[in-house]
Amino acid sequence: MNSIQQIARSLLHPLVAILIGFAAGAVAIAVTGAPIGETYAQMWKGAFGSFYFFTSTLARATPIIFIGLGIALAFRAGFFNLGAEGQMVLGAVAAALTAIYLPGPGWLKLIAALIAGMAAGGLWSLFAAVLDARFKVDLLISTLLLNYIATLFAGYLVTEPFKDTTGSAAMAQTMMIEKSAWLPKLFPGMSLHAGFVIAIVAVILLYVVFRFSVFGYEVKMLGQNPLFAAYGGVRRTKVMLYSMLASGGLAGLAGTVEVLGTHYRFIDGALTAPNFAWTGLMAALLANSHPLGTACAAFLLAALQTGAMGMERNTDVPLEISGVIQAVLILFISAKFSYTWFKRRKERVQNGSAV
């Protein structure tokens, strides 16, 4: 019974945030003069109105799930990984170049590309963790700034040495990956690919790790009470390095599955424009870093985005309404974390609490 009550309490804040977000969206829709009920009905149809739209929503949610899981893992351990965008982009370009230039059959290229994408994202995140462990460079700052280096470096790679010059050469992009190395589509004629299956497997694995493994216990203890964790023998540096490596690897996998399952090449700006990284961050924060909740929040946010596209096609309401809803969600999350921070600070002043 206690576990059910705990789950219900954990779902309360996200549900309240979502309701407030849609209420703010209704106000914005009313300002445009459009009927609120009809507009939200078109948004629903754009996300779930047909099997094609539903699979499109799942495809949109796939990279958001990966990024949300990676950020949730770092947050659970008490570390701020704001570098998911750069890790995703480096994973994507590494996967694309591996699939293009590695000799061998398609299945070998596919597996090697998946590994290369995870490794590139993980090592880039690990670099920030090493800076923290060795030189005390704050992770919040280093991961955020490393985004710019990663995206600009990836842009250089596809603008100069690895640019596709066989076509019009108007875009900064790699050559097309051969079809045998693509992630297979789950349904013919739909955009949903096998990367979604990998994402669901990652959700289950991360839940099992958090719930039943020693590493999951150490991550939880370090995130909740660092002093108690240190007293119990948890080594902060080791957990930080492993957590950031896995966090970046999941972000790199987000870019990898997009390249192998959707774009079939790396295109400069194609992964940063949809704001996958910051949507994944929002999903992790909404779910309080719970793997299953993060996946559900990622699906909801993806549905909001694909639904907004359908709403704009069929009504006079602009796409930016979904941005209004997401902005309210961010404000609600910020208010929640600010309240928690002030509460813990007050407790620390009153009774010397470590958290």
Whether residue 355 has pLDDT greater than 50:
no
Whether residue 9 has pLDDT greater than 70:
no
For 123, residues 6+ apart whose C-beta sits below 8 A from its C-beta are 245, 248
- Least confident window among 42-51, 113-122, 148-157, 316-325: 316-325
Rounded to an integer, what is the distance from CA 168 to the centroid of its chain? 33
What does the alpha-carbon distance between residue 355 and residue 344 come to, in Å, rounded to a whole number?
6
- Integer-rounded Cα Rg, in Å, for the chain is 21
Please check whether residue 200 is in contact with residue 66, taking contact to mean a CB–CB distance below 8 angstroms: no
What does the alpha-carbon distance between residue 350 and residue 338 come to, in Å, rounded to a whole number?
18
Q: Write out pLDDT tens, residues 339-353.
A: 666 665 665 555 433
Facing residues of 267 across strands? 173
User: What pLDDT does residue 175 have?
Assistant: 94
Q: Write out pLDDT tens, residues 140-167.
A: 999 999 999 999 999 999 999 999 988 6
Whether residue 7 has pLDDT greater than 50:
yes
Rounded to an integer, what is the distance from CA 262 to the centroid of its chain? 17
What does the alpha-carbon distance between residue 243 and residue 76 come to, in Å, rounded to a whole number?
9
User: What pLDDT does residue 6 have?
Assistant: 58
Residue 262 φ then ψ, to 5°:
-125, -55
The rounded percent of the chain whose pLDDT value lies above 70 is 90
What does the alpha-carbon distance between residue 295 and residue 89 come to, in Å, rounded to a whole number?
21
Please check whether residue 286 is in contact with residue 71, taking contact to mean a CB–CB distance below 8 angstroms: no
- Mean pLDDT, to the nearest integer, of 217-242? 91
Whether residue 1 has pLDDT greater than 60:
no
Q: What is the DSSP letter of 246?
A: H
Token pair for residue 272? 């940063």
The rounded percent of the chain whose pLDDT value lies above 90 is 68
Q: Is 81 exposed, middle or buried (0-12, 13-18, 19+ CB in 10 A)?
A: buried
More confident residue, 340 or 244: 244
User: What pLDDT does residue 351 have?
Assistant: 44
User: What pLDDT does residue 353 have?
Assistant: 36
User: What pLDDT does residue 263 have?
Assistant: 96
More confident residue, 120 or 286: 120
The SS3 of residue 170 is coil
- Mean per-residue pLDDT over the chain, rounded: 89
More confident residue, 266 or 287: 266
Whether residue 313 has pLDDT greater than 90:
no
Rounded (10°) angle between helices 51-76 and 214-224: 70
- Mean pLDDT, to the nearest integer, of 261-282? 94
Please check whether residue 321 is in contact with residue 27, taking contact to mean a CB–CB distance below 8 angstroms: no
Alpha helices in the chain (DSSP H): 2-32, 36-48, 51-76, 84-101, 106-135, 139-159, 195-212, 214-224, 226-231, 236-258, 276-286, 291-314, 320-351
What does the alpha-carbon distance between residue 93 and residue 20 come to, in Å, rounded to a whole number?
38
- Mean pLDDT, to the nearest integer, of 118-138? 96
User: What pLDDT does residue 171 have?
Assistant: 84
What does the alpha-carbon distance between residue 191 and residue 60 come to, in Å, rounded to a whole number?
9
What does the alpha-carbon distance between residue 342 and residue 346 come to, in Å, rounded to a whole number?
6
Hey, what domains does the chain have and what are their CATH numbers? 2-345 (1.10.3470)
The band of 194, judged by pLDDT with boundaries at 50, 70 and 90, is: very high
What does the alpha-carbon distance between residue 99 and residue 95 come to, in Å, rounded to a whole number?
6
Facing residues of 193 across strands? 185
More confident residue, 15 or 325: 325
What does the alpha-carbon distance between residue 265 and residue 203 come to, in Å, rounded to a whole number?
26
Token pair for residue 179? 């079809």
Q: Write out pLDDT tens, residues 98-115.
A: 999 999 999 999 999 999
Of 60, 97, 113, the residue nearest 298 (C-alpha): 60
